[in-house]
Structure 1
């Protein structure tokens, strides 16, 4: 499975939020804590904010994305993944662990460098904006960015890295900003391809 690189440490363990269940080990990670994006071995480009981990044999995973609020157990199948790079004007939804599903995002910039508070830098990212509404918050990182087709199936488009509002109101009056890694970078940077139904 793929998550945000800043959510993990290279060769570390992935657990559930309470730390009580071991899910599996990190396989590859392009994020150096305290610094930000780094190039993976053998690659000449930065691939955003990504980490690949293996799901342990006593756990299960499937190509589905949760829908609804943060406590929802309802999900939808992943039909496919974005077959082109993000472009300005693309519309997307997010699925964060803390805020649940949020739609209305529109891509405004591709391949910028994002400077996060704390001094870390994410390179080769995608920026989206929405207004009005509520923003993603800490804890949503690593969640999916997708679109949903008319039959209710999701198309994977990226991995949430960060965002928020410029006035820290939670986005109720101010535009929300979303920073995510394009799903194409996950496909090119890591072994394998995105699972789908």
Structure 2
């Protein structure tokens, strides 16, 4: 199956607006009503999502499995992550450490998924930097990402959204993303890919 950017934009228009007419109002927009209704429907089948977590735990026993699903986003998000690791220990300075996660997303709007990586750097306990990786992922993330992708395809029958389509700019406002910066990735998955609970 091949899904076009035009088709995905037509789907996204059902759930996201091109303006902020309803900001600050008690009344919900028709798009938000549809979005929340779709989430209610999808959450009735949440047990299928937990099966994915179990399968990932079995396939990747050396890594942690978590969840980052939030109903303000347009997707379910799972995490496969490593424990925080020491990067450097300078005498007289706080130690620096790093952790990373592979994030698997299944859109609730269309039968597509994506997998990306997030890396957090810390100085002592203070977060000092974070990066989002799409293609190519750093070497340590590649094998877990392949496992996540394979499991998403097997369990949910979804297809990977090509990066070039995901990066298509769209004239819609998605949470904090506004045109001309909004992309299909934001509309189908999340406007804050860097925000994961690590």
Query: What's the TM-score, normalizing by structure 2?
Result: 0.24
More strand by percentage: 1
More helix by percentage: 2
Query: What's the TM-score, normalizing by structure 1?
Result: 0.24
Instruction: Say which one has the larger Rg.
Output: 2
